[in-house]
Amino acid sequence: MKLENVDWDSYYDKVDGRPPRPLLRSALTLYPAESTVKPRQAVDLGCGDGTDTVFLLENGWQVLAIDGEAKAIDRLLAKVPDNLKENLQTRIARFEELTLPPADLIHASLTLPFCHPNHFAELWQEIVTSLGVNGRFAGQFFGIHDSWAVNKHMTFHTEAEVQALFSSFSLEHFHEEDAPGYSASGPKHWHIFTVIARKK
């Protein structure tokens, strides 16, 4: 399964109307509620249908929403209220060409596994460099037991490999799921590591 072979329109239609992801909700509770001198900057990496980007905007964040699909950005822009658009930037970019600005939060739900293994190390270094001290990463990695792990165009990790990625972070949430379930395309076995981590 290459990214260019995925029917993203069909996927976006199936997830349309979903609530913001619990991972993102949990991450935002870790930030102090009081206002700061400057608005916080988030990157929604692989913004997809735009639900999570809108949630960040509604909670007072400035957001750079990135996706490799122009259709995703079109859907996002159609969802954003006019009064929040000044706090939104969008970019169409693939993982292998990605550069990131300084950020307080990088949100990457179910997106990083779609990075080709040849480019993952460079992508991860870009993420680490982007986050300042006390900046947070909130995202997921697919494990080697996942039913998609036969796909050589995607990146999969062992638990030890995921832990090693966060040597310069404090782990605030780490959860492994290794169980049968469903995706938008039907039944599958999920092996996922869900992480929230604060950069030291």
Tell me the per-residue pLDDT of 116-175, one tens digit each, with 9 for 90 and over: 999 999 999 999 999 999 999 999 999 999 999 999 999 999 999 999 999 999 999 999
- Element spanning 52, H or E: helix 51-58
Q: How far apart are CA 57 and CA 157, in angstroms?
A: 31
pLDDT (average), residues 194-199: 98
Write phi, then psi, for 83 (nearest 5 degrees). Answer: -75, -10
CB 45 within 8 A of CB 111: yes
pLDDT (average), residues 180-185: 82
- What is this structure's pTM? 0.90
Bridge pairing between strands 62-67 and 103-108: unpaired
Residue-wise pLDDT tens digits, 70-92: 999 999 999 999 999 999 999 99
Q: How far apart are CA 24 and CA 186, in angstroms?
A: 24
Q: 3-state class of 36 per DSSP? A: coil
Q: Both tokens of residue 69?
A: 């699909």
